[in-house]
Amino acid sequence: MLRKKVEEILCERGGFKEIKLEETWSLEREGKYYIVKNKSAIIAFVIGKGEIQEDGFKLIGAHTDAPLPLGLSLIQR
């Protein structure tokens, strides 16, 4: 399943840790985290070095409505 592959890449190559929506988070400065929602969406983020009040924060998002899971190719007839 593609979601599992993305999780594997986040953890093994990126050093991200999974956190659960229903649990209390203990986030650390410069920590890398991700959440899985509904077994289909992955939300990943990195905590910065500075203070949010002083340095602000940045968000980057991506989305796809592909009719087929990513990684599959169409069969041409």
Decide: 44 and 60 in contact? Cβ < 8 Å.
no
Q: What is the pLDDT of residue 65?
A: 62
In a domain, 67, yes or no: no
Pairing verdict, β 41-46 and 32-37 = antiparallel
The answer to whether residue 77 sits within a structural domain is no
Classify residue 63: in a domain, yes or no: no
Torsion of CA 16, 49, 52, 37, to 10 degrees: 0
**Residue 28 counted as domain residue:** yes
Query: Model's pTM, two decimal places?
Result: 0.71
Domain that holds residue 41: 2-55
In a domain, 22, yes or no: yes
**Predicted local distance difference test score (pLDDT) of residue 63:** 67
What six digits make up the tokens of 23?
């649990």
| Whole-number Å distance between alpha carbons of 12 and 17 | 10
How many domains is the chain built from?
Answer: 1
What token pair was written down for 60? 């980057």
Q: Is residue 41 part of a domain?
A: yes
Q: Per residue of the chain (77 residues), give pLDDT as tens.
A: 677 888 888 888 899 999 999 999 998 888 999 998 887 788 888 888 888 788 877 777 776 665 555 555 545 55
**Separation of alpha carbons 33 and 12, rounded Å:** 13
